Amino acid sequence: MIDVPRTGAVLIHPSGDYMGNILWPGVLPAEQREALPAAISAISAQGYWASPFPEGDGVTFQHNSETSYDPDAAPTDFRAAFTFLDLDVLDPGEGQARALARLAGDRKITCTCLVPVEGLRLEAPFDLGETRFHARVNGDGNRLADHAWRELCDVPGADVDPSWTPSARASGTTELFAHPLIERKIEVPLSAFYEADASFDSQSALLRLVMEEADHALDPIRFDHCHYSRLHYLPAKAGWIGETGLAYVMPEGRAPRSRYLQGKPYVLRVSNTWLGLEVDDGGLSWAEPLATMIVDNRAGDEITLALKAALRAFNRAFYLVELEASFLHLVYAIDALCEPGRLTGDRHRLWISAFGSGGDAARFATLLVDFDRHYGVRNRIVHEGATFAGLGLVGEEQCQFMLGVLSACILVFVREGFATRRAAADFALNILTSPTIAPHIAAMASPQFRLPLTADKRFTEHMQP
């Protein structure tokens, strides 16, 4: 006999003028939804009135026989009728929200999220991969009547007033229209939705997840437009409006319900922008392929995951307060993407320069020298606790160099379309042993490696499967 999985649920006894409830997380599987009417009929035959919630996530009931409601007998009655439920009486100490979060287990639900952004100026809405960017409602070129989410505005007549703009006192979903919005579909743990109902602070996990996913959708735009010499033109991290994090989350289906999230999900954050970034669809070059091939890519292979990590590192670096930390963050991201392994010293510099140059001989020669010099700065920071000021260096210039190397490496991985780490390693070694690059390596006269590199022990070990 096949053991059919049952859905976890909780029973809440009637109290005073309030009816009782049977609650479960989300909606029931199809076969259990089909069995629900028979369960309602069965419990009705035992002297209860019961009706399913329109949203599909529970049943409300009351006892309608001549005898009074028996809280000890009711669980047995409902278990006998609702055989597809694993039913327990709600523990008041746990509470409804946390009980449903626990019962949700590892289930996920697809949601459409709207996340506002400060410091991003858009002339018109546009798509970038699977993400839609909406311009703020300004009563001029961007009117509420033309906004895709105008029904979320609760101001009567606003949609027919061509000059309407959200006031400074706008709240709830109406406040969203005062800012550019990132619209994106993501998968969210169902448990996080119910946990968010437990208390105001319990929203943090869901709010963090939604804000971070929206911010990742901004990464291709930052890749195209942001620079360490123009840090004041950075957009704010997605979701932060003033001192508060905001997001509106709409799950697919009827349960759970849409939520307007508002809180302070992080104790610390960086807000170093005051001019913001102006973006239009025509000014983006690499943003579209990066959005499609990295941000929207749901593949779980090692190259895709490495590129996701590298692109996120590229953009997170801008928001680190200490430039030395930003610099090291970029160095480690380059190593993580290119995987030099146990190649150190000159071997390490050769390996990274192969990816950073993409095989261009002139670029390789220049990059090899510059990267070695900048890596020496990395060593001083890590091993001596040095600072850019103490070394007489401009930190923004040092960071921009490493940002450029990481950018070049990311683009090489995207252009070449490596399927495996092995394919990427073969690409790098082929560059280092090519006739156009080999003379530059020979000119180094380094005692750290043996020529040809195919005979060097460390490179041979590195290339082993």
How do the domains of the chain map onto residue ranges? 7-90, 108-136+179-285, 302-462
Return the number of other C-beta atoms located less than 10 Å from residue 34's C-beta: 11
Q: What angle do CA 312, 185, 251 make, to 5 degrees?
A: 130
pLDDT at 273: 58
Residue identified by tokens 């319990």 is 202
Contacts of 173 (CB under 8 A, 6+ apart): 152, 153, 154, 248, 260
Cα 339 to Cα 353: distance, rounded to the nearest angstrom: 12
Residue ranges, the chain, pLDDT below 50: 1-2
Exposed/middle/buried for residue 282 (C-beta within 10 Å: 0-12, 13-18, 19+) = exposed
Cα 313 to Cα 176: distance, rounded to the nearest angstrom: 28
- DSSP lists the bridge partners of residue 15 as 18
pLDDT at 1: 35
Cα 135 to Cα 344: distance, rounded to the nearest angstrom: 48
Q: What totals of helices (H) and strands (E) does the chain contain, helices first?
A: 15, 14
In CATH, the architecture of 7-90 is: 2-Layer Sandwich (3.30)
| CA distances to 8, 196, 197, 316, 442 from 101, in Å | 11, 9, 9, 31, 63
How does strand 277-279 pair with strand 240-241?
unpaired
Question: Model's pTM, two decimal places?
Answer: 0.91
pLDDT at 255: 85
| CA distances to 61, 284, 290 from 144, in Å | 43, 26, 31
